[in-house]
Amino acid sequence: MTSCTPQIEEVRAVRSTRDRVASLLKRYPHVSDNDREAILEFMREARHLEVGLLTANDNVRPQLDAFMADHKRYFRLDALDVLRAVALIGAILMVCWLVWELFMPVSL
């Protein structure tokens, strides 16, 4: 056994999930509600690389485009996400200002 075995199993699981979602998308729009939820969960929760590999698949591109158009509201930012981003940017600016004030000499 090698120390890479857990990573290999994880890669296989992710690839399997991506392949499953691709097969579901091939049948879109004739999928069940559970299948729609599985596609949505993959699109929201999967790594960017995995989503990118799925979007690069020419076999499912028309169905994926239709799915994205039909489910736009699930991919929008809500008010809480915007508030978190603004708070994070504000905190970063505050830290930068404090560091600036701490290390810059006062010129009189």
pLDDT at 88 over 90: yes
**Residue 104 pLDDT level (bands cut at 50, 70, 90):** confident
In this prediction, residue 3 carries a pLDDT of 59
Check residue 4 and give its pLDDT: 62
For residue 2, the model assigns a pLDDT of 55
Residue 40 has pLDDT above 80, yes or no: yes
**pLDDT (tens digit, 9 = 90+) per residue, 17-39?**
888 999 999 999 999 999 999 99
8 vs 70, higher pLDDT: 70
**CA dist 68 → 3, 29, 56, 103, 108 (Å):** 39, 11, 14, 49, 59
Tokens of 31: 């999928």
Q: What's the pLDDT band for 10 if we cut at 50, 70, 90? A: low
In the predicted structure, residue 57 carries a pLDDT above the cut 80:
yes
Question: Would you put residue 26 in left (φ > 0), alpha (ψ -120 to 50) or beta?
Answer: alpha
Q: Which pLDDT score is estimated for 33?
A: 93
